[in-house]
Amino acid sequence: MANTVLIGAQWGDEGKGKIIDLLTEDHDWIIRYQGGHNAGHTVEIGDQRYVLHLLPSGILHEGKKCIIGHGVVIDILSLLSEMDEVVGRGLTVEGRLFVSDRAHLIFPYHRLLDENREFTAATKDKIGTTKRGIGPAYADKSSRTGLRAGDLLEADFPDRLRRRIQDYNRQLEILGADIADEDELVRQYTEAARRLKPYIADTISLLNKAADSGESILFEGAQGTMLDIDYGTYPFVTSSSATAGGACTGGGLAPRRVDRVLGVIKAYATRVGEGPFPTELDNSEGAALRNAGNEYGATTGRPRRCGWFDNVVARYSAMVNGVDAWALTKLDVLDEVDIIKICVGYKYEGKTFDVVPARVRILEKCTPVYESFEGWKTPTSGVTSYGDLPERAKAYIERLEALTGVPVAMISVGPGREHSLVREEVATADHGRAS
Ligand code: GDP
Ligand code: IMO
Ligand code: MG
């Protein structure tokens, strides 16, 4: 099977976890390449529900190997508790999980800085982060002051951590924020380092050797294109490269070895946290979508903002990620909707256009131009083949394909594995790249 990059094409929570779980069968390795435990990827298998934050979703398939790549920022306490949880549920991690020695680490001072910034920022400057310390940890990486997983293997790790804590505590004190307990943290992290050591590896060599020997790799994107540090609605973004290019910079495989890019789109749109969201329905229609789709954050439990599918965003995502095919999720959530809308352009100061503006001050004033569709008003969750979907649902999907210029290869009509329709002719098409 081909080396596949899977990305979220909207604002995250598109249902990536569920699609990764389906694709895992066809791949040997599953790798997270950016983000951290800000992600929450839900996989439902029978009556079991897993929410994965740092572990690649492939961990749920015994026999598959998983990597946390160097582009990820890791809170090792959080990782260890996630590992304990899956082991407690009968899975193996030993020998199956490899953590990049180049991956940067998140420490409690990063979280305290993140919380403090969110708490003290003026209302319109709040990002609505997950308060996991993601931004400050990536800032340390770029400032070349971060500690990496490989540093956990060094004898001087406790001393280096202590010096960092002292520096950060001085900053936190000036900000009037809580400070970290130096001795307790050094003790906790030295112990955590000891537990994590067997998993730390040179994952770049590992991955490339695997690819050389014909094994296939699935890159599990976190967040989504509109949250990407470069392509997203800056500054209301996360701090990593959540787009397809990030798979190479944060995973370690060269671009020419990626065979296909699969984009995950939800049949409507959601956003959690602050920032512009042109198709947001801040009304009873939005609340109905939230209820039907159970749109509450898998990491923070926050209610997600809901709105109509935004084709301006989808086309932009298709372009910047080079999406070969879509996996369309949560179609069933629209089953009861009378009139469904798709945003096909934005209006701003009397002009209509169909590209995402770089400036959030413009984007937040854009009003959507909609196309409307009669809803199908028929349950779709029990449907098992594309041909059996209601005609109006097929019309909606085919319109999405025409508008985005990208075919829909997979359709999800419920959270479980069984609620999935694969259009083989699209899914197995050679997109002109696989050799
Ligand atoms: P991710 O971050 O992209 O992996 O997505 P999340 O796990 O944060 O959110 C997606 C939610 O929708 C999860 O609760 C999934 O179980 C659920 N889900 C995924 N696909 C479908 C679908 O087709 N229909 C319904 N009703 N729920 C789905
Ligand atoms: P998955 O992988 C949705 C959002 C936060 C906030 C912004 C910055 O489950 O799709 P951060 O803590 O990263 O500094 O927050 O990004 N955010 C997500 N939104 N899904 C996610 O991950 C997200 N990870 C971060 O809500 O708006
Ligand atoms: Mg999520």
Is the Cβ atom of 333 under 6 angstroms away from ligand 1? yes
Q: How far is the CA of 132 from the centre of ligand 2 (A)?
A: 10
Is the Cβ atom of 150 under 6 angstroms away from ligand 1? no
Number of H helices, E strands in the chain: 13, 20
C-alpha–C-alpha distance, residues 77 and 108, integer Å: 10
Same domain, 323 and 369: yes
Same domain, 191 and 239: no
What CATH number does residue 193 fall under? 1.10.300.10
Give the confidence band of 435 by pLDDT, cuts at 50, 70, 90. Answer: very low
Q: How far is the CA of 42 from the centre of ligand 3 (A)?
A: 7
Considering the domain boundaries, does residue 434 fall inside one? no
Cite the active site residues.
Answer: 13, 41
Same domain, 407 and 365: yes
Residue 431 has pLDDT above 60, yes or no: no
Is the Cβ atom of 44 under 6 angstroms away from ligand 2? no
pLDDT in tens, 229-281: 999 999 999 999 999 999 999 999 999 999 999 999 999 999 999 999 999 99
Ligand 1 pocket check: which of 330, 332, 381, 384 to mutate, most ligand atoms within 8 Å of Cβ? Answer: 330
pLDDT of 427:
74
Closest ligand 1 atom to Cα of 42: 7
Same domain, 44 and 129: no
pLDDT in tens, 299-355: 889 999 999 999 999 999 999 999 999 999 999 999 999 999 999 999 999 999 999
Radius of gyration in angstroms for the set of CA atoms belonging to the chain, rounded to a whole number: 22
Same domain, 70 and 178: no
The four Cα atoms 295, 374, 398, 350 give a dihedral, to 10 degrees, of -80
Is the Cβ atom of 224 under 6 angstroms away from ligand 1? no
pLDDT of 430:
63
Question: CB neighbours of 135 closer than 8 A, spacing ≥ 6?
Answer: 114, 117, 127, 129, 238, 239
pTM, to two decimals: 0.97
Same domain, 184 and 294: no
> What residue numbers bound the domain in which 383 lies?
4-90+203-427
Q: How far is the CA of 150 from the centre of ligand 1 (A)?
A: 34
pLDDT of 391:
98
Section 274-298 average pLDDT: 97
Q: How far is the CA of 293 from the centre of ligand 1 (A)?
A: 8
Same domain, 263 and 396: yes
Query: Which of 199, 234, 256 represents a domain boundary (last residue)?
Result: 199
Q: How far is the CA of 310 from the centre of ligand 1 (A)?
A: 18
Question: Which of helix, strand or coil describes residue 273?
Answer: coil
pLDDT of 180:
79
Residue 185 has pLDDT above 90, yes or no: yes
Same domain, 9 and 118: no
Residue 12 has pLDDT above 70, yes or no: yes
What is the per-residue DSSP string for 119-130?
HHS-GGG-----
- Averaged confidence pLDDT in the chain: 96
What domain count does the chain have? Answer: 2
pLDDT of 130:
97
Query: Which of 199, 224, 247 represents a domain boundary (last residue)?
Result: 199
Ligand 1 pocket check: which of 30, 42, 419 to mutate, most ligand atoms within 8 Å of Cβ? Answer: 42
Closest ligand 1 atom to Cα of 44: 16
Closest ligand 2 atom to Cα of 131: 12
Lowest mean pLDDT among 107-116, 169-178, 319-328, 344-353: 169-178
Section 196-200 average pLDDT: 98
Long-range pairs for 137-140: beta carbons < 8 A, 24 or more residues apart: 137/36, 137/73, 137/104, 137/105, 137/106, 137/107, 137/110, 137/239, 138/73, 138/104, 138/229, 138/239, 138/240, 139/239, 140/104, 140/110
Is the Cβ atom of 6 under 6 angstroms away from ligand 2? no
Considering the domain boundaries, does residue 95 fall inside one? no
Question: Which of helix, strand or coil describes residue 49?
Answer: strand
Residue 171 has pLDDT above 50, yes or no: yes
Element containing residue 320 per DSSP (H, E): helix 311-321
Residue 68 has pLDDT above 60, yes or no: yes
Euclidean distance between the first and final Cα of the chain, in Å? 11
Give the confidence band of 122 by pLDDT, cuts at 50, 70, 90. Answer: confident
Is the Cβ atom of 41 under 6 angstroms away from ligand 1? yes
Give the residue, by CA position, lying nearest to ligand 1 atom 17: 415
